[in-house]
Amino acid sequence: MLKPKVEKILNEQIKKEGYSSFLYLSMASWAESKGMPGIAQWLFAQAEEEKMHMLKFVDYINERGGRAIIPALDKAPENWKDVFVIFDEVLEHEKYISASINDILALAVKENDFATQNWIQWFVTEQVEEESSVQLVIDKLNLLGKHNLYMFDRDIMGLRTAE
In angstroms, give the least distance from the CB of 14 to ligand FEO.
11
x/- track of binding to ligand FEO for residues 15-34 (CB under 6 A): --x--x--------------
94 lines the binding site for ligand FEO (CB under 6 A):
yes
Our CB check for ligand FEO shows the closer of 20 and 26 to be: 20
How many residues are there in the chain?
A: 163
Three-state DSSP state, 64:
coil
Look up residue 3 and give its DSSP letter.
-
In angstroms, give the least distance from the CB of 47 to ligand FEO.
10
Our CB check for ligand FEO shows the closer of 94 and 113 to be: 94
- Report d(CA 42, CA 112) in Å as an integer: 38
Q: What is the total count of residues that contact ligand FEO (CB under 6 A)? A: 7
- Report d(CA 23, CA 117) in Å as an integer: 28
- Report d(CA 2, CA 24) in Å as an integer: 31
- Report d(CA 9, CA 22) in Å as an integer: 20
- Subset of residues 96 to 155 that bind ligand FEO, contact rule: CB under 6 A: 97, 130
In angstroms, give the least distance from the CB of 150 to ligand FEO.
27
Our CB check for ligand FEO shows the closer of 20 and 116 to be: 20
> Which amino acid type is present at position 113?
D
Taken in order 117, 123, 124, 125, is the CA torsion positive or negative? positive
List residues binding ligand FEO (CB under 6 A): 17, 20, 50, 53, 94, 97, 130
